[in-house]
Structure formats: C-alpha cells, structure tokens
A and B are shown apart, each in its own frame.
Chain A
Amino acid sequence: MKPPRFEYHRPSSRDEVAALLAQHGDESKILAGGQSLVPMLNFRLAHPDHLVDINHLEGEASEPELGDRWVTFGPLVRHVAAERSLVVEEEVPLLFEALRFVAHPAIRTRGTIVGSIAHSDPAAEIPAVLTALGGEIVARSARGERTIHSDDCFVGPLINALKHDEWMEAVRFPRRAEGEGFAFEEFSRRSGDYALCGVAAAARPSGSGMNVTLAYLGVGVTPQTIEVSARPVSEYQHPSFFGELEGLVHAELRPYDDIHATGAYKRFLAVRLGVKAARRAVSMGEPA
C-alpha cells in the first residue's frame, strides 16, 4: 500500500496553484491535509500524474477569518484550528459541534475544512453543515474567481461543481444570526467512523415560530435536505412532529443500501436523529 508515482509540485502562491491547474487540470490532485487523498493513493484508488501540494503556500491563514457576514476558511485552516477557535464556537456553532464527530484527533491535526468540502463525501459531516447553513465556496482558476452556493456545490459522491482547472481556495460559513439555533446528531458504528446517518439542523426564526433546515449525511449521493416549515416552537415537541417528519423522510430521502445499513434502516435513523436535532436546534434558538 504505497502511493504510485506522480509529479510533485509545490506552489508558493494561489496564482501558482491556478497556473498549475490550468496546465495539468484533470491529471492533477490537490494535496492539502491529505487525510482522504493519501489513503486513496496508498490503495492506488487515485493515481494522479501531478500532485499539487498546497501546504507550502506562503502567507496563508491558519485560523478562520471573521467578516461581516461570513466566517471564511482559507485552504490551510486545519480541523484542529477550527475546533479550538472561539470564532467558530460563537459564530458557527453548528460547525463547532459537528467537528467533534469528524474522525479522530490525529486526523483533525492535518485535515482541513476546505479539504473536507472539496472531497465532497456525502457521508462526511462538514458538507452537511455547509448545506444546512447555506454557505458558499470560492472556486479559483487562472480564468478568475467564482462563488458557488452550497446548494450547487455538491453534485455526486466525491464530485463537486469545480471545473478541472479550478480549485477551492476558501469556504465561507454564514455567521449565526439573531435567534437561530443549531444541532448536530449522528449515529456511527464506532466513535469517529463515517456515520450510518447524520443530520445537521439549523433552526431560524420565522414569523412567530421557527423553521428548520435538516441537512442529512450518509443517505444520498450528496447532502440531502429536508425543510421543516415554520411553526410555533411548541409544535416541535409535540408527538405529531415525529409522524410529520417520518412522512417527510419517506417522501424525500431515498437512501442507498450499504454494508452497514439498508435504506430502510437509514430512513429509520433519519427520522429519529432528525426529530432529536430539530427539537434541540429549536430549543437553542429564539423566535422573533
């Protein structure tokens, strides 16, 4: 289990990265934290001709940046920096909570937030968080820069909206707004494993009640969302909410079978985790 040969590139600036991708595009892979890419290299499931190692970019922030609307993660912000960041804890509490479920400490030392989004694993936590919050990614190429909303980012399993000559240079999560509440729930076989099913919940004030976006992981080829329409907070606690979400889950999720769970079992989990997450998110928020 050793990586295949590749040509190694070590750009020192974002422009260089874009230039390398313009040249090598679909024969290349970006190496950031490497926690997903290197296993694939070791298994020889990935064999890029060119490896663009962005770990030596100069002047990159190692901490997330707080802006007016967004908390922005540059390409070298590691999971561990995010999970220890007060900015993340206060401004993107959903991400903060979800990070506890991302693999293990020794993986989070190297893994990056942007890398988790760029890898676009439908069973991963951070893409679901981005989806629940309506974040965006910044795609960069020699042609310029464009912003992609989370709803348009994830296209399929390990497939995203980036073009061959583009790379993800940043990810932005919206800052928590007044009255919003969040919760993250998942069920995995072992601590730190990919979840059989998980859900990121964002509750937002709406009229005199709250609505909830549930972004599920592990139940489709991309993060799958269910919108729970606005209603008084007390209704979430009512037993009928369980039945309603069960209906929504059955109507909207078509989870695939895998070795750990059938589609039926995933739907079963999706209902229960969803109810739990929605109730917790709502109770953390405050209607207007």
Chain B
Amino acid sequence: MTTKMFGAPVQRNEDPRFLTGKGRYVDDFESGAYGAAFLRSDFGHAKILEIDVAAALALDGVYGVYTHADLEGVLSEPLPLLIPNPNLFAPRTQYALAKEEVCYVGEVVAMVVAKDRYIAEDAAGMIFVDYEPLPVASDLEGASQVGAPVAHSDMDDNVNGRVAEEKGDVDGAISAATHVFEWRFEIERAAAMPMETRGVVADYDTRTESLLMYDSTQAPTGVRGGLAQLFGLDPDNVHVVAPDVGGGFGMKVIQFYPEEVMVAWASRKLGHVVKWIEDRREDFVGSNHERGQVHHVKVGADDEGHILAMDVKFINDAGAYCSYGLIIPIVTAAQMQGPYKIKNFRYEFRNIFTNKVPTSPYRGAGRPQAVYVMERVMDRVAGELGIDRTEIRRRNFIGPDEFPYEVGVMWQDGGNVVYDSGDYEKGLDVLLEALDYPAFLADQKKAREEGRLLGLGIGCYVEGTGIGPYEGALIKILNDGSVTVAIAVGTQGQGHETVFAQIVSDELGVPVDRIKIVSGDTRRLGYGVGTFASRSAVVAGNAVLKAAQTVKRKAAEVASRSLEVSVEDLVFADGRVHVEGAPDVGVPLGQLAIISNPLRYAFGKDSEEAVLLAQRAYAGSDRPLPEGTSPGLEATEFFSPKAGVFAFGTHAAVVEIDRDTCNLKILRYVVHHDCGKVINPMIVDGQVQGGVAQGIGGAFYEKFEYDEEAQLTNATFMDFLIPYATEIPTLELHHTETPSPLNPLGIKGVGEAGTIPGAAVIANAVSDALGQPVDKMPLSPLILFEMMHPSLDG
C-alpha cells in the first residue's frame, strides 16, 4: 500500500450497488406497509371552518383519517423551531396538521392511512373542508409594506425578524466617496427538486414500545432525538435510518416536516407499518423552497473603482413558517463581501412572512443571492467608471497575505466570519488564462460587428463551509481484516462511501474497497448533526481521520505485544502490520482484531494462528485483557471545528443570445475552484459540475409561477423546467489547492460551490451581451424578449 489514496480519483465504492438496482431508497422498504396520503390546503390563506371526514372514513380499505382534533399533547402544539434566534419577533412554525388556519397552498390539513396509496388518495379526495378565504400575502415586496395583508391572522404585519450590523463608518465613507450608486437587485424563489422526493416508513412496535423509521432525510440523528422526545421514549428505543437518499440539496435537512411526525404517530396508533412517499405534486408545495430576496444597495467608490462603502438593505421571503429561523438572510449578509476588502459595510435585513411554501436552505443557502448582488455591483461599478471587469475585482480583492481575514460581520454559528485561507487573485488568473480573456474580447468585438449578441459573465465567491458543532465516526477492524466506519451523517450521492474510505485507507493500509462506510443509521452511531452546509467532508472527514488514528494506535499496541517489537517499529500496509524493514514479519489486521478480543469463537486458519499469537501477546500480562485496554479493535472519535473554513472560486460563462428566438445559449462555462486539499478530484469535479447545472437551472429555466392568490400555477415538471442534458454545457474545470490551516486534513467543503455564482454569472453575461442591466433573476427567453423588444410588449 504505497500509493496514497487521499487525492486520487478513486472509483466509487457505492456505484455497483446503484448501478445494479440494489440501492435501497426509502420506498424500497416494507412493501406491505399501509399507504398514507395527506390532504393539503388549496388556499394560500384561509380559516378552516369545518372538516368532514365521514365519507373518507367509510371507504373500504381506509384505516384512519386524522385531523388536528385527533392530536394530543406535544403533537397538538406547533412543530419545533429548529434554529431559534433572539432577533425573531414572531416565530411561527406549522402544526403537524393545520389547526384553525392554513397559511399556504400545500399545508397539510388531514392525513389518511389506507391499505395502499391508491385508496389513500381516493379517501383524501373525499374529505370535505369548508374554508373561509382570508386576504393573501403573496408577493414578497408587497408583504413587506405597512398595511399589507398579513400571512398570519394573529399578526399585525409580516415582519418575522430583523438583523442589522455595521463595520466601519458607512455613512461617512459614502458621503466622502467620489461616486455613489444605488441599485435594486431581486432574486426569486427556487427549490432543490431532488429526483427522489421525501418519504417516510415508520414501524412502531407496540409490544416493545420502540420505533424504527426509514426517512429520506439529511439529518437522521435530529429526527430520532425529536421523535424520542415526542413519544416520551428512551432514544435507544427509537432509531432512524436515512438509507440511500436520492438527492437532498438542503431541502431534506428540515426537521420536522409534518409528515415525519405524523407517519410515526400513525404507525403507533395503528400498530402497523405506515409508509408515505411524497409525490411530485406534493413536493412542489410541501417541501421547502429558498432564495426569494429583494436588495437595495448603496455603494460608494473612488475613481479607481475601490469599493469604499456598501450599505445593503434586503428582505427575505420566509414563506409561511420559519422552522429554520433566520439562517438564510444571515448567510447572505455574512457572505456578501465575498473575496473583497470592503472597509465600511452595513446591512439590515427583514425576514418576511408570505403565504407561500416555507423556505429553508437549498444548495447555496443565501450565498447565491449575496454573490449575485456583489458581482452585479462589481460589473455595474466597472461599467460606470469605465474600468475592465477583471481589473476592478483585482483592485478590491483581499490579498493572499491577509489571512486570517476578519470580515467584520456575524457568521451563522454566532461567531465572527474569519476567512482561514485563500488566494483570490491567483484564482482569477487561472480562470482568465483558461478563458483566454483577450481572445474573448476580440471575438465579442467581431460578433458585435456582425450583429451577434455575445456576452461574458464573471462571478467570484467565497463559500463558508465545514461548520460545527461536530461529527463523529466509529471505526471497527473486523476479523476478516475489513474495516467498517459508521458515521452519523447520511449520504445523498456525495460519495461518502469512497472519500471517507480513502482517508481510512491511508491510515490503516487497507484497500479502499475493503472499507465499508455505514452512514445515517442511528443504530450504528447515535451522535451527529447532519449532511448540509458543505460540512460532511470537513467535519465528518476529520472525525474519521481521528478515529482511524485511534484504532491504528490500538492495533499497533496489540501488534507490538504479539510481535514483541516496539510500536514505533511497525508499518501498516496491504492489510497487515509488519516490522519496519522486515515485511515478512507481521500480522494481518484481521488477526489483530481476533487477538484483541480474547474469545475462542472464530473460524478458519487465521483464527488458529491468531490464537497462537494471542498466547504470546498475553504471556507478559496478568490477565487476558490487559489493564487499560478494551476488547476489539474499534474507536469512536468526534471532531468539532473551531470555525468554518472558506472555499472560493470564480466562474465565467460565455453566452450568445439568439436574435430570432431570444434564447440563451451557453457557449462555454469555465470554472476555477479551490476547496483546499482535495480528497477525490473525480468526486469534487462531479460536485462542481452538478452544482453549476443547478445554478444554470435557477438562473434561466426554473421559475415558480405564483399567482396573486399564492397559488403555484406550474407545479409539474412539464412547466417547471429543470434542464435536461440538452441545456447544460460541460464545464471546463480548473483547480487550485489552498489548504485550510484549521483542520488536520487541510480540506474545505465543496457541496454547494458550483451553484453559488450561477445567478451572478448568467446575469452578468446577459447584461454584457445586451448592454443592459440585469437586476432581476431568474431570466427566461420571454424576459430576454421583453428586454430586447420593449416596444413589442403587449
């Protein structure tokens, strides 16, 4: 085992399972389960006057129809506020089933459990609900005004929270600035739309009072803890498994969605396995969205384009409820300065309730908005002052010698934002060289002469990743010499079963394919936080490293006793531990595992040899298990980062707009990216390419069409346009590696990077092509048509 696995493009351990149809997603469990369906509100805002379930209950094959009236105790209260914040004035979370008022189309009103999902849907359609419609807060900006219709009838306005911070002297710097600009930037809602919708299978055993739940979640440990509390059970009697999860992108991290508690509750009530698999129509209105924000920006600059001060006021669309607190606008505010040195910076945001699907982080989580605002500002200031767009960025970059860099605002974990490391100018240079910027400028000039609309958009970003509080890993070396690693974070396709195995492989000298990662199963490891915020590789990865180092020490101690050599003289390689300089003198790891657990139970020749070695190992001890040791080769370790680590990058898109159709074609999409040390470049590239596809989707294809009554009018994949292969270009990817000093592996997260600058890059590119500002996203051919032909409108 001389080749280092860390850093190698190792093929994925999980792939054969997925490729042969043996992946196990939540709907693949318990085919005999009862099927659940939920009746959801058809109104954006209404009072519930009456619910009549008699007809539904009378239908053959229906086992239960539940409304809020059936709920008792804690379950009849609003669901928990996951991330409280002192700046929330009026936090509202939804009930597991709506009580007296529905506040968005899609809010769950009643639950049906039946023989199968077909019958459950029949019955849900037979429930009669008498609603009294209430005024609707549908539009974010409208809802933020004084006197707007209120999203919750017990509130006087829609303001849920407000946070403001200032560093330096913004007013002073703006009044002293040579150039002052004011702009408005808007970005609409977007959503994750993983290919696998949410789903829950709950099996409550009423004899042992224990619950086993399969949940397509990104945070099984949190779901488990909450359910244990809800049912008043010892957490050891509650287990939650996030099996293979078909994409999450943040949307599946919320706990609790109403269905997660209701399905478990119904299973207990009926004493039978109950399954609910969200269908796509439900997913559009029942799973969280993100992004909607309107920003007003005031910028002061000098003649050279240095940004002297920035004053940002923005509103953020909470949707109808705020179980995730203020995280999204906090991240926007904290990340808006990006890679730039802005001495005077002030923000104020208000979090606004609307009668729409609640919002919570979706890949990027507030950063796409921040980067869109900042990068539009850079392009607009450059345009106003006649400075090249790359030059203005250079002039404002934080220098490579300025780290750690205090950004001067609060981070989502409550601490200050401090960038750990970076080299932003080098990143831009790498990108521009790959792009051949002078050649582009020449092409553009020629294209303009021919009447073609060619444009370039650049977007730089810094991404805070790898936040705490902690993750853990439990590693075991098994008797056959293979290794299992249990981590509490689940996986939604990020390649955990491979990258964590690579880390372990280097420590223990065991081939990657002999290392099995078990993730997201609270039966295996109960303590953990979850897969989100580009944190798994950083936080769980370093926990895996620590656990591997601990188990290695244990194995070395056993080997040292067995081989009668000192620990320092041992080498771990090729699944064995041998004496340095004498590869033939050694013990396979599996034998060490047997030796470490002095029982006579194992099969095979290895065991016989191990027993003989064990006799030697214990010869010098007064008992089979030496004082201070524990049986087996296993270790559990946790890693708790001191602070987040900050990845960065620059994207560029070359686009052309077709004059005949007003359609956008992306001719090239070039990426520079730096996420510190790379564990597996193949997987990192895949994350970036996939993230960019979501960025492009959100910038040009995916657009929620809500009407004035807050009805979502395009809740199908026919009208909500996730791009196909025909719409997404293949990236040109370039990396630098600036290690993080804050963790032993030197890594930073990569999960969200690709998506973050999408809106900024496309907005800047279109603006460049058309020679007009693009300050409202997303775009579409229709919007381009209206920009290009304002006189033809209507």
Write the residues of chain A forming the contact surface with B, with a CB cutoff of 8 angstroms: 1-5, 43-44, 187, 189-194, 196, 259-262, 264-265, 268-269, 272-273, 276
Contact = CB atoms under 8 A, between A and B. Distances in A.
26 contacts: A1-B280, A2-B117, A3-B118, A4-B121, A4-B122, A43-B281, A44-B125, A187-B781, A189-B701, A190-B701, A190-B721, A190-B727, A191-B724, A192-B724, A192-B726, A194-B718, A259-B705, A261-B781, A262-B793, A264-B785, A264-B793, A264-B794, A265-B781, A265-B785, A272-B660, A272-B661
A92 B433 CA distance: 51
B792 A268 contact: yes
B121 A2 contact: yes
Contacts of A259: 705, 713-714, 719
A264 B726 contact: no
Tell me which of B281, B726, B782, B794 has the highest count of chain A C-beta atoms within 10 A of its own C-beta: B782
Contacts of A189: 701, 721, 780-781
A190 B125 CA distance: 33
Query: 5 closest pairs, A vs B, by CB?
Result: A191-B726, A1-B279, A272-B660, A2-B118, A265-B785
A191 B701 CA distance: 12
B632 to A, nearest CB: 49
B661 A187 contact: yes
Contact of A265 (B125, B662, B721, B727): B662
A63 B714 CA distance: 37
Contacts of B794: 262, 264
B473 to A, nearest CB: 40
A269 B782 contact: no
A276 B658 CA distance: 14
A192 B725 CA distance: 11
A190 B703 CA distance: 14
B484 interface: no
Interface string B676-706: 0000000000000000000000000100010
A253 to B, nearest CB: 14
Contacts of B117: 2
B727 to A, nearest CB: 6
Interface of B: 117-118, 121-122, 125, 279-281, 660-663, 701, 705, 713-714, 716, 718-719, 721, 723-724, 726-727, 780-782, 785-786, 789, 792-794
Contacts of B716: 43
A196 B726 contact: no
Contacts, number: 71
A108 to B, nearest CB: 15
B116 to A, nearest CB: 9
A104 B279 CA distance: 22
A261 B718 contact: no
Contacts of A276: 660
A193 B118 contact: no
Nearest to A263: B794
Nearest to A191: B726
Contacts of A265: 662, 781-782, 785-786, 792
Given A1-B121, A44-B121, A187-B661, 17 more contacts: A2-B117, A189-B701, A189-B721, A190-B701, A191-B727, A193-B718, A196-B781, A259-B714, A260-B781, A262-B786, A264-B792, A264-B793, A264-B794, A265-B781, A265-B782, A265-B786, A268-B792
A208 to B, nearest CB: 30
A53 B575 CA distance: 61
B497 to A, nearest CB: 30
A4 B794 CA distance: 41
Nearest to A261: B782
A193 B721 contact: yes
B12 to A, nearest CB: 26
A259 B786 CA distance: 14
A221 B713 CA distance: 19
B279 A268 contact: no
A268 B789 contact: yes
A4 B126 CA distance: 12
Contact of B122 (A1, A5, A192, A273): A5
A192 B727 CA distance: 11
Contacts of B661: 187, 269, 272
A75 B67 CA distance: 47
A191 B726 CA distance: 6
A194 B714 CA distance: 14
A268 B791 CA distance: 12
Most buried by A among B118, B280, B660: B660
Contacts of A4: 121-122
Contacts of B713: 259
A192 B717 CA distance: 12
Nearest to A1: B279
Contacts of B789: 268
A268 B786 CA distance: 11
B280 A268 contact: no
Contacts of A268: 662, 785, 789, 792
Contact of B780 (A187, A260, A264): A260
A259 B718 CA distance: 12
Contacts of B280: 1
Given A189-B701, A259-B713, A1 B780 contact: no
